[in-house]
Amino acid sequence: MRGKDTLVNCDQCGRSVPRTKAVAYEKRISFGTEMHNANDIRFLTSRKIYYCISCAKHRGIFEKKKEQAERAAHRFD
């Protein structure tokens, strides 16, 4: 179904991007009381964040497939 894709907002710049074109990034968030003893309470959760292509490229989250292939080739050498 063309044209029916939902729009998401980029968390960096606020641009509206179709969900299929946006880069999804899972960000882990931890909350704690920072008491550093036995009564310390910690809570871990994760949040899905969407970035537009340009912001994801700028932050280093997303790169072109050609660059990914080159990096993988250098890793095994």
Which helix (DSSP H) or strand (DSSP E) does residue 51 occupy? strand 42-51
Q: What letter does residue 47 receive in the DSSP assignment?
A: E
Query: How would you write the pLDDT of the chain (77 residues) with one tens digit per residue?
Result: 566 889 999 999 999 999 988 989 888 888 887 777 777 778 889 999 999 999 998 888 877 777 777 777 876 65
Would residue 2 count as lying in a domain?
no
Domain that holds residue 62: 7-75
Residues 25/56, Cβ–Cβ less than 8 Å: yes
Distance (Å, whole) CA 46 – CA 26: 6
DSSP 3-state of 9: strand
Would residue 15 count as lying in a domain?
yes
Supply 57's token pair.
């490229």
Strand segments (E) across the chain: 7-9, 16-18, 23-32, 42-51
Would residue 60 count as lying in a domain?
yes
Would residue 51 count as lying in a domain?
yes
